[in-house]
């Protein structure tokens, strides 16, 4: 229940919360807070030479580490809408998905209140736009499959497994 770690009072009415099975409940107003994973859409953007687009994070956590473009979905947003929104914002590129690669679980942040993330990963290609890094991206760069950054330079624990799956479908 990492996302609910330290929750003591109802965010709606400020009554004391009671811990439940994977949730917290408010006996006063009926509010229930569930410890769900947060859904994220992630793009493995490939160019015509088979290279992969990565961004170096300009913000904490994992500042200075390499990451795949993507991010948290908004409420009720379709993952592919969120994928296109995140890519346009982070990279200035309009993309279209080529194929769904899979789902990976991970954590965002460290410590007892880290967020559990559910990451949906698509291979994608650029259809329009100019490469332009957003403020929270220090740098964008293309990497050949054999030249991807080493594990210690990657922001998130899921990335080595994602890259391995990507290399398998490239081969």
Residue ranges that bind Zn ion, judged by CB under 5 A? 10, 12-13, 15, 26, 28-29, 31
Residues in CB range of 34: below 8 A, 6 or more apart: 22, 23
Q: Which is nearer to Zn ion, 12 or 167 (CB)?
A: 12
Q: Starting at the earlier edge strand, list the strands of the sheet with 32-34.
A: 17-19, 23-26, 32-34
Q: Which is nearer to Zn ion, 20 or 149 (CB)?
A: 20
**Nearest residue to 107 (alpha-carbon basis) of 65, 156, 140, 150:** 156
| Smallest separation (angstroms) from Zn ion to the CB of 19 | 14
| Smallest separation (angstroms) from Zn ion to the CB of 14 | 7
C-alpha 116/C-alpha 79 separation (Å) is: 17
Q: Which is nearer to Zn ion, 3 or 98 (CB)?
A: 3
Q: Which is nearer to Zn ion, 12 or 78 (CB)?
A: 12
| Smallest separation (angstroms) from Zn ion to the CB of 12 | 5
CA 10 to chain centre: 28
| Smallest separation (angstroms) from Zn ion to the CB of 133 | 42
């Amino acid at each position: 229940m990492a996302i609910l770690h330290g929750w003591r009072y109802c965010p709606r009415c400020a009554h004391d919360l009671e811990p439940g099975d994977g949730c917290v409940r408010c006996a006063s107003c009926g509010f229930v807070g569930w410890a769900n994973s947060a859904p994220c859409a992630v793009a493995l953007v490939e160019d015509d030479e088979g290279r992969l687009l990565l961004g170096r994070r300009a913000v904490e956590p994992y500042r200075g580490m390499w990451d795949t473009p993507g991010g948290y979905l908004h409420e009720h947003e379709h993952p592919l809408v969120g994928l296109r929104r995140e890519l346009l914002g982070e990279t200035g590129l309009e993309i279209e998905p080529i194929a769904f690669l899979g789902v990976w679980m991970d954590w965002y942040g460290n410590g007892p209140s880290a967020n559990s993330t559910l990451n949906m990963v698509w291979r994608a290609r650029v259809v329009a736009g100019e490469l332009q890094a957003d403020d929270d991206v220090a740098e964008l760069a293309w990497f050949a499959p054999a030249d991807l950054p080493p594990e210690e330079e990657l922001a998130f624990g899921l990335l080595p497994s994602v890259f391995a799956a990507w290399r398998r479908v490239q081969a």
